[in-house]
Amino acid sequence: MSTVELTARFRQALDYAAALHAGQRRKGSGAPYVAHLLGVAAIVLEHGATEDEAIAALLHDAVEDQGGAATLAVIRERFGPRVAGIVEGCTDADTVPKPPWQQRKEAHLAHLAAADAGVCLVATADKLYNLRTIVADYRAVGESIWPRFTAGKDGTLWYYREVARVLEQAWPGPLVEELARTVEQLERLVEDRG
């Protein structure tokens, strides 16, 4: 449980994140992308986040999806080096075009293996939120979910399995255990329908 007091910095970060991602939608549902950012922030706050970690949760996709290094510089200036460091640690690519998917994900996994607790918290919350969405969507639409993912079914399952494995070693705890259980839940659903 978090007892952190959220200040005007958090509200400023929420406004900034909402503006950055204003035209972006979630794959599948089409929900405004800010729903994902709010969900990740909620998870980190429920698991003892500092304000910097909660702000980083709101901004964790900003560099990757909305401007690369220039956006990271703005985050560093507006929200400080700790927030920028967490956001950078959660970013798997900051260039356009992005490197090939497999190469990018393997590099990110290697980075997570040595990441600090703030990066691990936000990354775990991000992956957990995504997995919960995938599980719900898979229940609703079954196998037709996979074309929305660059790596398809096999690559997506591999990636989330590896994220859980890496985080279990790097940052064990209840949130990572929940992530691992959610990966297993998705794999069972896929097996049952397969």
Please identify every residue annotated as catalytic. Answer: 64-65
**194: which DSSP letter?**
-
Task: Return all residues near 16 (Cβ < 8 A) that are at least 6 apart.
Answer: 58, 59, 62, 78
**56: which DSSP letter?**
H
Tokens of 79: 């929200």
Q: Of the candidates 52, 51, 63, 53, which has an alpha carbon nearest to the alpha carbon of residue 20? A: 63
CA dist 104 and 97 (Å) reads 12
H or E element that contains 99: none
Tokens of 90: 């959660």
